[in-house]
Amino acid sequence: MSQKQHHKEDDSQTENGMVRGLQNRHVQLIAIAGTIGTGLFLGAGRSISLTGPSIVFVYLLTGVFMYFMMRAIGEMLYMDPNQHTFINFITKYLGKGWGFFSGWSYWVSLIFLGMAEITAVATYVQYWFPHWPAWEIQLVFLLILSSVNLIAVKIFGEVEFWFGMIKIITILALIATGIFMVATDFKTPAGHASLANITQGFQMFPKGWVSFVMTFQMVFFAYQAIEFVGVTTSETANPRKVLPKAIKEIPVRIVIFYVGALIAIMAIFPWQQLPVNESPFVTVFQMVGIKWAAAFINFVVLTAAASSLNSTLYSTGRHLFQLAKETPNSKVMKTLKLDTLSRTGIPARAIIASAVVVCISAFINILPGVSDAFSLITASSSGVYIAIYVLIMIAHWRYRQSKEFLPDGFLMPAYKILNPLTIAFFLFVFVCLFLQQSTYIGAIGATIWVILFGIYSNWKHNN
């Protein structure tokens, strides 16, 4: 590697002027906690109820393919650490049409993710303050988190670090509680805590193979936004050093946090008797005699949702900034000056614009009938996410055949087999969306979006 390259990657700024203000500890913790969303704290009971202990295999298998995708993204980002969004690689290797499609689709998907998170935040706050109007809570949270994103990248990293710490400590406390209960043969309302609760009468498909397959899309969305660590590394002081470390540790985190938590829950309580509509974390902590467990877990899911929203604002701001740079002739982009950076090297205008769009959800929920349409659109965005993941894998395949391929880089292992396998897995998850009533219409919406917007994007850039 040339001296010039070394200098460039250790520099305090990226090529486009953004400040590299994140430290290694920020990125490592964002990478650990970024994969832990509210899905694990609240949705684990529901996914366990569908297929029992075999849910562990679903989490492991999905985690393996998410790791392969991260290796593909990591390889390309290692080759060009100045890219702060993986969408640029789609433009580079699949053409401007698919780049335009992915750029806008990803931004819109993230915006809907942000809208869903801000709606969740209001629900969690109302647990303590039921009389506070949801839209006021949403606006206050948006203002606070937008400010965190606007001051400096370092402040964002610090806030995200502590949000992440709360999630990690909670999961480790649950695992420690599980070990203690099993070791002391703790008596629960449903019997004794024991690993036999998992192994006794174990079946791969206790409620049929359809229920087993249905859990894949639920687990997939628990992992959604895992790619976010790739976005943050471009704003660390030494991306080529930090990126491989952050990605290589993903499998260990999956095993400890997801698999560890699930095994602990099912060892404590026979899975058939787990309450579906209550967080298993609340159930477990209450059994140990923690009376304020429900309030504590509510606080944890509130920080998890706020953390996701914080990351979403970070990501949408950078994506919109990139889109503005790529479409210099757009009147809207020009008027709003979305392609400019603040004095502290932050795409402030793009972050504010994204926050304003997310803010719309505060008023959507007040309008009668519109909230149903909103949940439909949110479901569709999940399917669109899968399409973007598939495109990034195809872009990686093309990168491997290109002249820019870096043979001594951070290579994805056995890509000729694992790349197509990962694409096949993502397509399988997309098909799973059609199996459940709650995701069926969203899957149709996503299919229509991918076909129509995909055709429009390619027509626009090929004419």
Stretch 287-301: mean pLDDT: 88
Per-residue buried b or exposed e for 226-264, using 16+ beta carbons within 10 Å of the residue's own CB: bbbbbbbbbbbbbbbebbbebbeebeebbeebbbbbbbb
pLDDT of residue 114: 86
- SS3 string, 341-401, reads CCCCCCCHHHHHHHHHHHHHHHHHCCCCCHHHHHHHHHHHHHHHHHHHHHHHHHHHHHHHH
pLDDT at 394 (0 to 100): 97
pLDDT of 10 reads 43
192's enclosing H/E stretch is strand 191-192
Whether 312 has a pLDDT exceeding 90, the answer reads no
Please give the residue that has the higher pLDDT: either 372 or 214. Answer: 214
318 and 207 Cβ atoms separated by less than 8 Å: no
Domain 9-458 has CATH 1.10.760.10: no
Are 95 and 329 in contact by the 8 Å Cβ rule? The answer is: no
Q: Tally Cβ neighbours within 10 Å of residue 342.
A: 14
Of the ranges 128-132, 182-186, 209-213, 344-348, which one carries the lowest mean pLDDT score? 344-348
Give per-residue pLDDT as tens, 62-89: 999 999 999 999 999 999 887 767 888 9
Above 60 in pLDDT, residue 11? no
pLDDT for position 34: 65
Closest to 319 (Cα-Cα) out of 100, 148, 127, 144 = 100
What confidence score (pLDDT) does residue 1 get? 43
pLDDT above 50: residue 332: yes
Each residue's pLDDT tens digit, 93-125: 999 999 999 999 999 988 888 888 888 888 889
CB hemisphere CA count around 23 (13 angstroms): 8
Q: Kindly report which listed range (187-196, 300-309, 369-378) carries the lowest average pLDDT score.
A: 369-378
Which range is least confidently modeled, 172-176, 314-318, 390-394, 446-450? 314-318
User: What are 191's strand-pairing partners?
Assistant: 188
How many CB atoms neighbour CB 123 within 10 A? 14
Residue 21: pLDDT band by 50, 70, 90 thresholds?
low
The average confidence (pLDDT) of the chain is 85
- 273 has a pLDDT exceeding 50: yes
Higher pLDDT residue, 195 or 437?
Answer: 195
What pLDDT, on the 0 to 100 scale, is given for residue 8? 41
- pLDDT band for position 3 (cuts 50, 70, 90): very low
**Are residues 338 and 325 in contact, defined by beta-carbon separation less than 8 angstroms?**
no
Confidence of residue 238 (pLDDT cuts 50, 70, 90): confident
Residue 234 is predicted with a pLDDT of 67
Q: Rounded CA gap, 419 and 73, in Å? A: 11
In this prediction, residue 374 carries a pLDDT of 63
Residue pair 203/54 in contact (Cβ under 8 Å)? The answer is yes
Question: Residue ranges per domain, the chain?
Answer: 9-458
Q: What is the DSSP letter of 434?
A: G
Q: What is the pLDDT of residue 447?
A: 95
Cα–Cα distance measured from residue 142 to residue 123, given in angstroms and rounded to the nearest whole number: 15
What is the arithmetic mean of pLDDT over 53-60?
Answer: 93
